[in-house]
Structures are given as structure tokens and as C-alpha cells.
Structure 1
């Protein structure tokens, strides 16, 4: 089976553990310098972002706006009010836009508390528009979708018209994520051994891998079955040949890829993705000078490599071509 370099099919540093589930929590008091000095209740999303605030006596639009680093005009607009409108205690204020706007004109679904859960992308939508409308950072949006980045080199990466994208994470077991990792020389986790509480979601959020990818890399697992504790899960394609990385490779005693022999049609990008390599050129630097990698290309713009070359996949075991 061939796997193309679609959204999420690339490498990244490991994200942090998933945040708590969506819940209503009291707003912090003034004793916490990093949080708003308001006493009303808040409604937070799965990342801890405050989407709604319920007022108490003495609250004003201006004070609420300042606490959440918004303009009074924006908070008023989100709630169909005029700036300066007095607020009765118990007023539930939106801190996110109410409905479509520039760059995010599609339909969203919300839960019973009004927290946006998923969104269907429309033509001409933008990453900036979507993150603004739903009070998310680009990193949070990427994590919710189990992809390393929401963009790549300035280009929108997975935001495509018609695609339904999650806006929140599912709750995961607090015991998850404590298993042993085997990393390559670039610091990327190649294997993870599961513990009680691990699931496709917990692995997906931590390592930015979709359930479909994990199943593809680990044929012994099943989507409708829990992952047993002690399972060694592969987090890179590895033995799975993918489009643009069809060659053979060697490994060390721990199964970490060491060298790779290129095949026709291989590209730097796909070879790097297949083996969790973040800097293929650094592992294949010339023995002299400060130029780029010594290996040869057949088509430079797309990064297509000449076939039959044995190159290093390990930063700590570089192959330095003596002729370069």
C-alpha cells in the first residue's frame, strides 16, 4: 500500500499531554496574576480557553473585555450589545464570535454548553479566520486534528474546502502517556510501549498521529479494540513503503533505522517522513566544506533523489562522502 504525504504525514517535536476535558470551572481570583481578576464562572474548551463568562455584580463590558484581552467593541459585538451596556449579574457573555465571519464562513457544531466541536471548511476560508472564530491557536487546532502543523512553510496544510475538522480533543485517561519511548538520534519517538489508560486518542494527541496512521503502521491493532498495556507501537511508517520512499533500509538492535538505499522516485521529504528524520541533510553532510548534503538529485525542485544511493538516517552516524 502506498501512503502519500498528506496532512499530518510529516515529523514534529512531541506535543505535551492532552488537557482536561471540557468543563465549567470557576474563574480564577485576583491572587493569580496570570488569569483574569473576575469572580464569575467560565466555560472553557478542551484546551482551557475561555469561550463564555457569566457575570457577577459589578462586572462591566469593559472589565470583562480587558480581562480576556479583547476590545469592548468585540465583546459587545459577539453578544449583540452596544459598548457600555450595563450587565445584570448572571449574564452569560460570549467571548468568541457568534457565527460565520471572514475566513471562517462554514457551519460549526457545538455541544450543550455552546463550545464549538467541529467545523466544515468552506472555499476561501483561512487559517487565521478559523482560529479567530473558534478561539484557538494554530498549535491547538493542529493537536485537535492530530497533525504536526496546521500549515507548512507559510501555506495552509490541511484546511481544504469540504473537510470537516475537529476543534476539540476527546478526554483521555490520566494514566496514559507514561510508557517507555525509543527515540532516534533526532529525538523523534519511533516506538512507544503502552501502559494502562493508553488509547488511539491519547497516542494521537501526544505524537500527532491519526488513528488511521497508527493502524497502518501497526497491522496487529484493531480500531474497535483497546490497545493492551505493554504493546510496542510503531509511530513511523518504517517497514511500510510509502510513495516517494520505496527503498530498503537497515536498523540497529533496537529497530532504529540507520541507513537507507534510495529507489526511483524517492524524495527527501518522503524519506524523512518514513523514518522520522528531521534533518536528512545533516546526517549526510560532506566531509569538507559547509555545503549541503553530498547525495545526488535527479530533479532538484521537488527534491527527487537519484536511486541506488546509500544514505544515513542517523544524525550520530553520518555518512560523509570522502569525495565531497
Structure 2
């Protein structure tokens, strides 16, 4: 799995009220924790087992992997087994008979991904998926996971160490962080984001800014399935009113407002990036993905 301009790198983080993020020079207003959004049951409650959910007018993309292939995805970098494979091993499947496995091999800058590009851009996207981290999963200090992005073209995907100019790209990934090894893997979720008002790392480069809940964060555990969902709302080009939010098992866990993702409405959300990338991988790490839905409304957990 190849990323442009070097491999993704995570910035240092410091605490503010309710938010953690990368340190910075002066810039526009900082993102703040947002208000109430839907939680609990959502669009998926109308489709037990997600049967027929792909036909809902609010759904843009769905993937349960039951086709036994990855033809729905846009393979940008030739990922093949063992990095990306389909599995049918009982507990490694959330529903049906097949799930996807992403494997990060031993070494530095190791990873695997599934990418979906959408022909038309969107002002708001929700992405829901189920994931399970292996019983021995340990990302060390830094990893990257699933995200949504707005790309001027496909070549903007994976850019790192650069601040977006408001017309080229923006992105945010929902990913666990172990607080420099203080907590068991995979640990607490938060956002890792690139946007025009982002803060630089003290050493100079623009590594993704992190912001995550500090009050009662949900600490992910290994060896169990989670329903994760994230939302990104693009800003009006002349205002800092963009938002990201995320849910864990249907509970709204993080919601932030006041972000300026872009400076032109020509740049819209058009990419789902399901990524497992580990900076310094001391072992083979695996995560399983299943029951992916992307749409314009809150999806919520699958109902049986």
C-alpha cells in the first residue's frame, strides 16, 4: 500500500477541553465539540440483516462481501493477499459467510486498504462498518484506520506532511490511539484530519491534526465486533462550519463543529478509505471488516 509524499505520519497531541490535537501556530477558530445528532437505531432499522439496504435512496454504497470478490472497490495500488483477502472463518465474519481481512505485515510503514471513489461528490456522508481487531492486535504507538475524504482527483489520496490549500483535498480518519502505550491496544478512537486551518507539527511538517473525546472515551478491545460509524459534513466555502462525528455501537461518541474543510464548493466528499496502516509494526496485525454502508443519512447498527 503506497501513500503519496511519504507515508502517513501522526502528529504529537496535547490536551484541550474535550479535545486532543496536534500543536500549532496561530490560525482560524479551533474546532469545538458539537451538539446532539441522531444515535441508536437509524436507517438500518428498516432493513433487518441489512437485506435490501442497498436499494434505499439514501444509500450510496454497500458491501457485505458475500459476492466473494472485491469488484465493488477501486484498487488503486494492487493490494493482494495476504494484505487484503476475503475470509469465511466463523467468528471472523460479522454476518453472512464472508468478511474482509486487512493485514499489516511486519516492518515500518506497513499496511493494506480498500478504497471506494464516488463519481459525484457529496456535501455530507455517513459511513458505517463493522470491525474486529485480532486477539493479539497491537499497533504500537501510531496507526491509521478508516476515513472519508474530498479529493480534487484520485492522486490526492494519501498525501501527508502537507497542509491542504482548500481546493485540492481534505480528509479525516477515525482511528484508535494508545496514548503512547499507556493503554491496552487498540484503545480510544479519535479523528486524524487534514484541512486548510490545520496546525503544523513543532518540527515543521503538517501532520494530521488529532481531536478526540477526553471525557469518558470508549476504549476498544480486541477480539470482538464493533459497529463504527462516522459522518463528515463539508463547510460552506466562506465559513468554518464543517463537522465530523462518530458513533460506537450506535452511541454518539464524538462530534465536532467549526472546521473549514475547503475553500471551494467544487471540492466535495467523494472517497471512502478503509485502511490499516501501522508506522512501526513489530508483528503481523489483522483487522476484519464487514457490512459496510455509505449514505446521506445516519445508518446505525444492523438489526437482526
TM-score w.r.t. length of structure 1: 0.26
Higher normalized contact order (CA 8 Å, seq sep 6+, divided by chain length): 2
Asked which structure has the greater CA Rg, the reply is 1
Q: Decide which structure has greater helix share.
A: 1
Q: Decide which structure has greater strand share.
A: 2
